[in-house]
Amino acid sequence: MGKYGWSLPVAASSYAGSIDFGIWLIHAAMLGIFVLWGAFFIYLLVKYRARPGVQAVREDHGPASGRMGELKSLIPDAFIMSFEIALIVFYAIPVWSRIKMSAPDVKDPVRLEVVGEQFGWSVHYAGPDGKLGPRRQDLVHFSNPIGLDRAAAESADDVVMGNEMRLPVDRTALIDLLSKDVIHSLFIPEFRIKQDAMPGMKIPMWIKPTKTGKFEITCAQLCGFAHSLMRGDVFVQTQEEFDAWYQGRLATMPATAKPGSAAEDF
Ligand SMILES: [Cu+2]
């Protein structure tokens, strides 16, 4: 059965409910169509079964009634097609654009940057100043995988974690998603978010976690031999827990960045 069970994973973000409603609606509609169609099919099988003394008759309609018959047979198709078009126009597009086209305009968002690479995620927190410190490719090093320039003023309160994301509950997090090498995809099932990370692009995304707990980050884009190991944890905590964690981590951050030798361009 696995950790996610038979049904959908726990819904832990503000938009998870909208995504789930769409999934349930489509499944319910498909089930309804399957049952109705199956029942109709069985009815026809029984009604027109082969019996002694009964023979198939092909009725030859005139041209006009033939065309009417053909049109009538399209009624179920038209019904299903209108349902699907309505689903796309009135449900899927509005929900998708609410999630993907812009972030909610909140006063005090948590700002972070997630950088994918073969094979892990670096999570870079802007800290209370809300400003992400600059990254420099000549500073990329095993001890500084994103090349954060610790000398810059904006970096003073920045925290960088490997494969660990912490978010305060009920607060909007604005995330820039990047990749250092190939295409990855940040997938957090409980948040119902899956977003490709493209090398050379900064992709904005947002999450408002609504449940505390520990969830899984996986890479949803086959990105190399250790793709399946490209995992991390998300901890959704209360604001107090988050602040305590942040202060603790901040104390362990190096004051300066040593120059590295890697020359990844991102
Ligand atoms: Cu990956």
Predicted pLDDT of residue 210: 96
H or E segment to which residue 123 belongs? strand 120-125
pLDDT at 123: 94
Which residue bears the tokens 């019904």?
A: 79
Please check whether residue 9 lies inside any domain of the structure: no
Within this chain, do residues 134 and 60 fall inside the same structural domain, yes or no? no
Instruction: Tell me which of 80, 100, 120 is where a domain ends.
Output: 100
Same domain, 26 and 139: no
| Positive/negative CA dihedral, 96, 102, 106, 112 | positive
* pLDDT 10s digits, 241-258: 999 999 988 888 877 665
Distance 137 CA to ligand 1 centre (A): 20
Query: Is residue 264 in some structural domain?
Result: no
What is the reported pLDDT for 259?
Answer: 55
Q: Looking only at Cα atoms, what is the longest distance across the chain?
A: 95
pLDDT digits (tens, 9 = 90+) for 139-196: 888 888 888 888 888 888 888 999 999 999 999 999 999 999 999 999 999 999 999 9
Q: Which of residues 100, 124, 153 is at a domain's end?
A: 100
We report the CATH number of the domain holding residue 188 as 2.60.40.420
Q: Over the stretch 72-119, which tens digit does the pLDDT of each residue have? A: 888 888 988 999 999 999 999 999 999 999 888 888 899 999 999 999
Last residue within a domain, chosen from 78, 100, 122 = 100
**What pLDDT does residue 2 have?**
60
Structure tokens at 87: 């689903």
Task: Say how far apart CA 103 and CA 152 lie, in whole Å.
Answer: 27
Q: Are residues 114 and 23 in the same domain?
A: no
Please tell me the distance between residue 185's alpha carbon and the centre of ligand 1 in angstroms: 6
Question: Residue 2 falls within a domain, yes or no?
Answer: no
Ligand 1 center from residue 49 Cα (angstroms)? 56
- What residues make up the domain containing 42? 16-100
Q: How confident is the model at residue 228 (pLDDT cuts 50, 70, 90)?
A: very high
Number of Cβ atoms within 10 Å of the Cβ of 174: 18
Distance between CA atoms of residues 7 and 195, nearest Å: 22
Instruction: Please tell me whether residues 70 and 126 are part of one structural domain.
Output: no
Tokens of residue 155, six digits: 């970096």
Residues 125 and 96 in one domain: no
CA of 163 from ligand 1 middle (Å) equals 12
Extract the tokens encoding 11.
Answer: 């819904």
Q: Are residues 119 and 243 in the same domain?
A: yes
Determine, yes or no, domain membership for 153: yes
**Whole-angstrom Cα distance, residue 102 to residue 214?**
27
Question: What is the average pLDDT across 117-132?
Answer: 91
Say if residue 234 is in the same domain as residue 119.
yes
Which range (33-47, 62-76, 131-145, 146-160) has the least confidence? 62-76
Q: Output the pLDDT for position 262.
A: 47
Output the DSSP codes for 7-56.
SPPP--BTTHHHHHHHHHHHHHHHHHHHHHHHHHHHHHHHHT---TT---
The single-letter DSSP state of residue 265 is: -
Nearest to 240 by CA among 171, 172, 170, 168: 168
- Structure pTM? 0.82
Residue 12 CA to ligand 1 center (angstroms) comes to 23
The alpha-carbon radius of gyration of the chain (Å, integer) is 27
Residue 266 has pLDDT above 80, yes or no: no
Per the structure, the count of domains in the chain is 2
119 shares its domain with 192: yes
Q: Please give all residues whose CB falls under 5 A of ion ligand 1, grouped by chain where several chains appear.
A: 184, 219, 223, 230
Do 52 and 176 fall within a single domain? no
Question: Is residue 221 domain-resident?
Answer: yes
Q: How far is the CA of 197 from the centre of ligand 1 (A)?
A: 9
Domain contains 8:
no
Residue 143 lies in a domain: yes
Same domain assignment for residues 212 and 143: yes
Which two tokens mark 44? 């026809």
pLDDT on residue 102: 86
pLDDT of residue 4: 73
Report pLDDT for 16.
Answer: 94
Q: Does residue 1 lie within any of the structural domains? A: no
User: Are 152 and 229 contained in the same domain?
Assistant: yes
Q: In this structure, are 192 and 88 located in the same domain?
A: no
Query: Given a cut of 90, is residue 261 above it in pLDDT?
Result: no
- Contact in structure between 227 and 219 (CB atoms under 8 Å): yes
